[in-house]
Amino acid sequence: MSLRYEQYNALKRTRKFLRDELRKETRCKTITERKDKILSCLRHFPVLFDSGQPMWSKDNFTEDSK
């Protein structure tokens, strides 16, 4: 189980990765590079219910919950 700030950073890292992949100039050059970035995004990615609420924690993802 990851700490809240690790989960929050994983969400931000995933958002940045996906946006970079949409831009041609910042896209990953190799499959290995892409896999490494995906693994770093998923390592602490929070598990959410279908409603979007965290499964194990009762607090919300906010800027002030670092």
Q: What is the pTM of this model?
A: 0.67
Per-residue pLDDT averaged across 24-47, rounded? 88
Residue 60 is predicted with a pLDDT of 62
Q: How confident is the model at residue 44 (pLDDT cuts 50, 70, 90)?
A: confident
CB 2 within 8 A of CB 46: yes
Give the per-residue pLDDT at 33.
92
What would the DSSP string read from start to end of 9-34? HHHHHHHHHHHHHHSGGGS-SSHHHH
Task: Give the pLDDT of residue 4.
Answer: 80
pLDDT for position 39: 92
Q: What is the pLDDT of residue 32?
A: 95
Sequence ranges of the domains in the chain: 1-45
